């Protein structure tokens, strides 16, 4: 019985809703039109499909929506039907004053379901006066609106235009109205097909919103933001109502912004210097290709990191973090400092920082450019070294001249004394050999001032090392140093200048002895490297070691880690090895020791030619 009774009530309500001469609509709690009856559709000039796509705030005047919203909220709480007056925007754009009787439909559990509206035309004179006033306001809005407002018939010919339409496009009403021009005449040919599609959709009852250019009377192409709305009279579409806003300037600005953005992106991406861009929260949001090439990290490894977490900052510079962070939000140029690469090596950089602004002029991000100064610094260092070498050459020439004269006398008298020391022939030979070595040292000093002709011959490198060991063993014993030799290739011959390589071995062995003031072991070993067709000579001591930051400076003119050194010994030795087409490497660890590795080629055509 209950079910049949409910069905009966629902049927009666539906039949009444459809056939009543009073305009009625059912509206959801959020304002969406759910269903309308025929009277409502005829009253408003919309089809059922058009109405049920709308919301109540698209039918009522905005001022009335704002005024009556609190009444609807009160209806939910006190469950009493209410009455309010409102202006309805008809399908043809005309405003009419109506009276709304509103009640709330609820479920059997008392939950709100939807609003039931009964709508009657208000004939009250005061309301009619308000309606007339509203019409005048709309006429004024039509006349003085800076946007183009117009209406068209079903063939697209203009039936009304406002003054803004005439002013923007340059046509007069006489030229536009009375079937003289339609929208197609104002549309560029390449956009005609698309414009026709939008017009036909509006004629079919669909509201259209799109951007499209139009051609003015003088041929200027102007860009518009267009809204086309169907005009409905007595349930039939009789034309199209439109609003067109000139957006040419905005589009131009947007295009300029796009071009500027592309230029900025190109500048950043193709810049030869690494560029970092941080957001206002100090998070890295962009790096360029030069960053990856210079520092070695991929962008995926660093994006999102804060400035203080960036791996390019050397650990010994963390103490300057606060100072760096103060500079972070400032414009600055040419800050010279050091940064670290992924492989751990340090590079000299010149950093500049500046803000990036958005369209409104506000700071949106901060950019930093790192210019790699490593090559510049190396060039400066080479220039300084060249100047030092020039000075050293001049000193060497003077010293050699002063020493050679007394040395010649000593050598002559030694020859005279030799017959009186027959039993000491071994020592006399050593003295004679060392005098010759002194002469060789003088010749090496002269290398710094002018090149000399060098004679290469095939020599056993092991015999050179054994001779130097015998020469310096007494000095080593006095210092508590034991010299240990290991030769993995006893008869290794190379093309070389014997006395020069002897000088190299003396320099490196003496340096090792002096690095162990408290005694220790010096290991000298020779190994063959068949891949490089050469030999390696390793001089390994147990001294105090050399700090890593000083290793790169060893070999520069006059740079030394010893209080009584000149810095020329290692430099001359390195140059001799390089003249033999070899190289010298240093590996050192503090409080463990230092290893000097010398590589010499075993047989080179260039040496044979010099022989």
pLDDT digits (tens, 9 = 90+) for 105-161: 887 787 888 888 888 876 655 555 655 665 666 666 677 788 898 999 999 999 889
Q: When comparing pLDDT for 73 and 581, which is higher?
A: 581
CA atoms within 13 A on the CB side of 493: 6
CA 581/CA 583 separation, integer angstroms: 7
The size of the chain, in residues, is 611
Q: Are 607 and 456 in contact (CB under 8 A)?
A: yes
Q: Which residue spans within 234-283 are E strands per DSSP?
A: 236-246, 275-278
The kind and range of the H/E element at 510 are: helix 498-514
pLDDT at residue 187 is higher than 90: yes
How would DSSP label each residue in 374-413? HHHHHHHHHHHHHHHHHHHHHHHHHHHHHHHHHHHHHHHH
Q: When comparing pLDDT for 559 and 299, which is higher?
A: 299
Both tokens of 515, joined, read 């690095």
Beta bridge partners, 599, equal 536, 583
The kind and range of the H/E element at 534 are: strand 534-540
Q: Which residue has the tokens 């549309």?
A: 187
pLDDT averaged over every residue in the chain: 81
pLDDT of residue 322: 58
Beta bridge partners, 522, equal 483
How would DSSP label each residue in 144-202? H-SSEEEEE-TTSBEEEE-HHHHHHH---HHHHTTTT-BGGGGS-GGGHHHHHHHHHHH
CA atoms within 13 A on the CB side of 534: 15
The kind and range of the H/E element at 138 are: helix 125-144
pTM recorded for the entire structure: 0.41
In the chain, % helix, strand, coil (3-state, to 5) comes to 45, 30, 25
pLDDT tier at 452, thresholds 50, 70, 90: low
pLDDT of residue 482: 93
Both tokens of 227, joined, read 């809204």
CA 489/CA 498 separation, integer angstroms: 18
Q: Could you tell me whether strands 520-529 and 481-487 are parallel, antiparallel, or unpaired per DSSP bridges?
A: parallel
**How far, rounded to the nearest angstrom, does the alpha carbon of residue 239 sit from its chain's CA centroid?**
54
CA 195/CA 180 separation, integer angstroms: 19
pLDDT at residue 209 is higher than 60: yes
| C-alpha closest to that of 118 among 206, 217, 36, 53 | 36
Q: Mind listing the pLDDT tens digit for each residue in 320-343?
A: 665 666 666 678 887 888 899 998
pLDDT of residue 102: 87
pLDDT of residue 1: 40
CA 611/CA 607 separation, integer angstroms: 6
Q: Mind listing the pLDDT tens digit for each residue in 389-446?
A: 666 666 666 676 677 777 777 777 777 777 777 777 777 787 877 777 777 667 666 6
C-alpha distances in angstroms, 364 versus 100, 405, 498?
A: 51, 77, 69
pLDDT of residue 528: 85
C-alpha distances in angstroms, 276 versus 267, 304, 333, 356, 371?
A: 13, 12, 15, 12, 12
pLDDT at residue 166 is higher than 60: yes
Q: Mind listing the pLDDT tens digit for each residue in 406-416?
A: 777 777 777 77
pLDDT of residue 520: 92
Residues with Cβ within 8 Å of residue 234, at least 6 apart in sequence: 42, 45
The greatest distance separating any two alpha carbons of the chain, rounded to the nearest whole angstrom, comes to 152
Q: Which domains does the chain have, with CATH numbers?
A: 2-130 (3.30.450.20), 145-246 (3.30.450.20), 255-366 (3.30.450.20), 373-452 (1.10.287), 453-610 (3.30.565.10)
Q: Residue 271: how many CB atoms within 10 A of its CB?
A: 14
CA 78/CA 118 separation, integer angstroms: 19
pLDDT of residue 136: 64
Question: Considering the chain, what percentage of its residues have pLDDT values greater than 90?
Answer: 23
CA 574/CA 571 separation, integer angstroms: 5
Beta bridge partners, 404, equal none
Q: Are 355 and 366 in contact (CB under 8 A)?
A: yes
| C-alpha closest to that of 70 among 82, 54, 56 | 82
Work out the average pLDDT over 44-73. 78
| C-alpha closest to that of 501 among 430, 439, 440, 566 | 440
Q: What are phi and psi of 220, to 5 degrees?
A: -75, 135
Q: Mind listing the pLDDT tens digit for each residue in 583-608?
A: 999 998 888 899 999 999 887 544 44
Both tokens of 561, joined, read 């880690």
CA 128/CA 356 separation, integer angstroms: 58
CA 83/CA 70 separation, integer angstroms: 13
pLDDT of residue 50: 82
pLDDT of residue 607: 46
Q: Mind listing the pLDDT tens digit for each residue in 284-318?
A: 999 999 999 999 999 999 999 988 888 888 877 66
CA 452/CA 443 separation, integer angstroms: 8
CA 278/CA 367 separation, integer angstroms: 6
Q: Mind listing the pLDDT tens digit for each residue in 483-521?
A: 999 888 766 888 888 888 888 899 899 889 988 988 999
Q: How does 370-393 read in b/e, with b if 16+ C-beta sit within 10 Å? A: bbbbeeeeeeeeeeebeebbeebb
The DSSP letter of residue 565 is -
CA 450/CA 590 separation, integer angstroms: 38
Strand arrangement of the beta sheet that strand 284-287 belongs to: 284-287, 275-278, 363-372, 346-357, 332-340
Helix (H, G, I), strand (E, B) or coil at 305: coil
The DSSP letter of residue 215 is E
């Amino acid at each position: 019985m209950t079910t049949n009774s409910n069905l009966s009530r629902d049927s009666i309500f539906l039949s009444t809703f459809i056939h009543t001469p009073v305009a009625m609509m059912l509206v959801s709690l959020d304002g969406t039109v759910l269903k309308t009856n025929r009277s409502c559709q005829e009253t408003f000039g919309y089809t059922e499909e058009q109405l049920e796509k709308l919301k109540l705030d698209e039918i009522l005047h905005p001022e009335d929506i704002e005024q009556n919203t609190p009444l609807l909220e009160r209806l939910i709480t006190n469950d009493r039907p209410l009455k309010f007056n409102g202006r309805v925007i008809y399908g043809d754009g005309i405003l009419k004053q109506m009276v709304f009787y509103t009640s709330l439909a609820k479920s059997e559990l008392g939950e709100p379901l939807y609003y039931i509206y009964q709508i009657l035309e208000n004939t009250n004179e005061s309301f009619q006066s308000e309606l007339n006033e509203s019409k005048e306001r709309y006429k004024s809005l039509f006349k003085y609106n800076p946007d183009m407002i117009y209406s068209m018939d079903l063939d697209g010919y203009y039936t009304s235009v406002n003054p803004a339409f005439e002013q923007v496009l340059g046509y007069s009403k006489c030229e536009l109205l009375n079937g003289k021009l339609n929208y197609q005449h104002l549309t560029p040919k390449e956009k005609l097909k698309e414009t026709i599609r939008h017009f036909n959709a509006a004629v079919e009852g669909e509201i259209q919103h799109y951007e499209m250019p139009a051609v003015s009377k003088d041929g200027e192409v102007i860009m518009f933001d267009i809204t086309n709305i169907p005009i409905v009279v007595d349930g039939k579409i009789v034309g199209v109502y439109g609003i067109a806003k000139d957006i040419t300037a905005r589009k131009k600005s947007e295009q300029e912004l796009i071009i500027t953005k592309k230029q900025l992106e190109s500048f950043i991406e193709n810049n030869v210097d690494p560029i970092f861009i941080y957001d206002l929260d100090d998070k890295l949001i962009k790096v360029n290709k030069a960053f990856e090439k210079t520092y070695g990290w991929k962008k995926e490894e660093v994006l999102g990191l804060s400035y203080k977490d960036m791996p390019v900052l050397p650990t010994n510079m963390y103490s300057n973090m606060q100072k760096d962070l103060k500079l972070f939000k400032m414009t600055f140029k040419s800050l010279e400092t050091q940064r670290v690469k992924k492989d751990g090596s340090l590079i000299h950089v010149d950093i500049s920082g500046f803000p990036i602004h958005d369209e409104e002029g506000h700071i949106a991000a901060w950019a930093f450019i790192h210019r790699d100064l490593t090559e510049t610094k190396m060039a400066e260092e080479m220039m300084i070294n060249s100047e030092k070498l020039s000075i050293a050459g001049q000193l060497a020439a003077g010293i050699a001249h002063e020493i050679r004269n007394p040395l010649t006398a000593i050598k002559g008298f030694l020859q005279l004394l030799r017959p009186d020391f027959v039993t000491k022939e071994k020592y006399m030979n050593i003295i004679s050999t060392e005098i010759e070595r002194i002469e060789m040292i003088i010749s090496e000093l002269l290398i710094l001032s002018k090149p000399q002709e060098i004679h290469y011959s095939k020599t056993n490198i092991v015999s050179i090392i054994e001779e130097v060991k015998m020469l310096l063993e007494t000095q080593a014993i006095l210092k508590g140093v034991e010299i240990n030799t290991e030769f993995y290739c006893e008869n290794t011959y190379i093309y070389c200048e014997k006395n020069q390589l002897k000088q190299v071995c003396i320099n490196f062995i003496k340096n090792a002895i002096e690095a162990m003031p408290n005694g220790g072991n010096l290991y000298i070993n020779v190994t063959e490297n068949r891949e490089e067709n050469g030999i390696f000579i390793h001089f390994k001591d147990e001294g105090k070691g050399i700090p890593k930051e000083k290793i790169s400076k060893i070999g520069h003119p006059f740079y030394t880690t010893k209080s009584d050194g000149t810095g020329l010994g290692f430099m001359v030795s390195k140059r001799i090895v390089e003249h033999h087409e070899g190289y010298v490497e240093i590996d050192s660890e503090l409080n463990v020791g230092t290893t000097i590795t010398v590589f010499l080629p075993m047989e080179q055509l260039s040496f044979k030619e010099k022989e």
